[in-house]
């Protein structure tokens, strides 16, 4: 396992991070709280990740209705493993659609809940999960700055933003002398390349890290979805496929066939090549993967051994053009 500096935060992250969004649910979806991996299954995945040298676990207060954080806390308490904690704030832990956002009071309250579930005095990495158009960015940043100042939070990051939102937040931090976002966590894969337009260039210009999630695009880049077959019962498309519904078309399937052939030519699995493609971007610090079983981590670990040149990255991307 290789390790790299997360922007200017001073944190050293493994090149693969463990995404815990399926522990006790499927992300923040209230209708799926209690589904996903059981606590025993989550423990097995965390054991495998720690043994492989993965040194940070990424979760959110709302994942599984708080189950993800609680199970990570239980695991840390039982195992005594020194992993970096990364969690997020925005959505409701109870699934209440009215209880969300990034107001000062809510951030302070939600972090205390996260710390209790994680059985921790502080989190190393704290992110805003979504932009909040109803709360001024200055108010959000002041609350985060306060948490950094009292030692409850190590570094702050931002997730699911576009370039304009990121630029506004950085400018507000500089203008008011507040803690700055040190990295961005957005979806990025061969099938989701929006960050290349404005976020990744801005990260490079501002010295920010980038920790992309969903490098396999909900399983699409593993080869599990085929045009003539129903989606597997336990797959992301079967459980919560709405975010990827736009991919169900002939163009995607043709691109996937070309990509699978390219992986076969290299003697690697499609999942390994897809993760390697994301990891090989020069701005990427660590790729967050969310395995459903311990053995699914193997593709991410194998991907760390694959080196792609800029030309090879472009050629693979062109398969989906």
pLDDT at 309: 96
Q: Alpha helices of the chain — where are they, by DSSP H?
A: 39-51, 67-79, 104-118, 137-149, 163-176, 199-206, 236-240, 250-266, 270-279, 297-303, 310-318
Strand 3-5 relative to strand 12-14, pairing: antiparallel
The whole-angstrom separation of Cα 232 and Cα 167 is 40
pLDDT at 25 over 80: yes
Q: At residue 63, does pLDDT exceed 90?
A: yes
Contacts by 143-147 with C-beta closer than 8 Å and gap 24+? 143/102, 143/103, 143/104, 143/107, 143/108, 144/107, 144/178, 144/179, 145/178, 145/179, 146/108, 147/107, 147/108, 147/111
Compute the average pLDDT of residues 30-56: 97
Q: Write out the catalytic residue numbers.
A: 63
Q: Give the tens place of pLDDT for each residue, 223-234.
A: 888 887 777 777
| Mean residue pLDDT across the chain | 96
Dist. CA 267–CA 303, nearest whole Å: 12
First and final CA of the chain: distance in angstroms? 32
What would the mean pLDDT of 258-269 be, rounded to a whole number? Answer: 97
CA-CA distance, 99 to 142, in Å (whole number)? Answer: 20
pLDDT of the residue at 231: 79
Question: Looking at residues 153-176, what average pLDDT do you find?
Answer: 98
Residue 46: helix, strand or coil by DSSP? helix
How far apart are the C-alpha atoms of 83 and 142, rounded to whole Å? 27
- Please say if the pLDDT value at position 69 is more than 90: yes
pLDDT in tens, 268-315: 999 999 999 999 999 999 999 999 999 999 999 999 999 999 999 999
Q: Which has more pLDDT, 260 or 239?
A: 260
Measured at the CA of 166, the angle between CA 191 and CA 184, to 5 degrees, comes to 55
Angle at alpha carbon of residue 210, lines to 94 and 118, rounded to 5°? 35
Rounded to the nearest 5°, which phi and psi values hold at 95? 85, 15
- Rounded to the nearest 10 degrees, what angle do helices 67-79 and 39-51 cross at? 60
pLDDT band at 3 (very low <50, low <70, confident <90, very high): very high
Q: What percent of the chain has pLDDT over 90?
A: 91
State the pLDDT confidence band at 242, using cuts at 50, 70 and 90.
confident
Residue 308 · residue 275 · CB < 8 Å: no
Contact yes or no for 143/108 (Cβ under 8 A):
yes
Write down all domains in the chain, each with its CATH number in brackets.
3-215+283-308 (3.20.20.100)
């Amino acid at each position: 396992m290789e390790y790299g500096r997360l922007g200017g935060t001073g944190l050293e992250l493994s090149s693969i991070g463990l995404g815990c969004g399926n522990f006790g649910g499927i992300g923040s979806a209230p209708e799926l709280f209690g589904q996903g991996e059981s606590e025993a299954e989550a423990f097995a995945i965390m054991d495998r990740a720690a043994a492989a040298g993965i040194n940070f676990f990424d979760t959110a207060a709302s994942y599984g209705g708080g189950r993800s954080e609680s199970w990570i806390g239980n695991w840390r308490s039982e195992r005594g493993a020194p992993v970096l904690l990364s969690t997020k704030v925005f959505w409701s832990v109870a699934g209440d659609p009215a209880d969300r956002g990034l107001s000062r009071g809510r951030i302070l309250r939600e972090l205390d809940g996260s710390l209790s579930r994680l059985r921790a005095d502080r989190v190393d990495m704290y992110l805003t999960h979504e932009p909040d158009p109803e709360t001024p960015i200055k108010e959000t940043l002041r609350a985060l700055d306060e948490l950094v100042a009292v030692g409850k939070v190590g570094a702050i990051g931002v997730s699911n933003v576009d370039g304009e939102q990121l630029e506004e937040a950085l400018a507000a931090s500089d203008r008011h002398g507040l803690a700055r976002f040190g990295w961005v966590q957005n979806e990025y894969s061969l099938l989701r390349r929006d960050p290349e337009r404005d976020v990744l260039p801005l990260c490079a210009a501002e010295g920010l890290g980038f920790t992309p999630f969903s490098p396999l695009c909900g399983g699409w880049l593993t080869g599990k979805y085929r045009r003539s077959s129903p989606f597997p019962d336990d797959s992301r498309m079967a459980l919560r496929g709405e975010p990827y519904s736009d991919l169900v078309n002939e163009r995607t399937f043709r691109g996937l066939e070309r990509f699978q052939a390219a992986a076969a030519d290299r003697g690697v699995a499609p999942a390994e090549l897809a993760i390697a493609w994301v990891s090989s971007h020069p701005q990427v610090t660590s790729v967050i993967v969310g395995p459903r079983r311990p053995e699914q981590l193997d593709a991410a670990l194998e991907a760390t051994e694959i080196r792609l040149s800029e030309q090879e990255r472009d050629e693979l991307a062109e398969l989906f053009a």
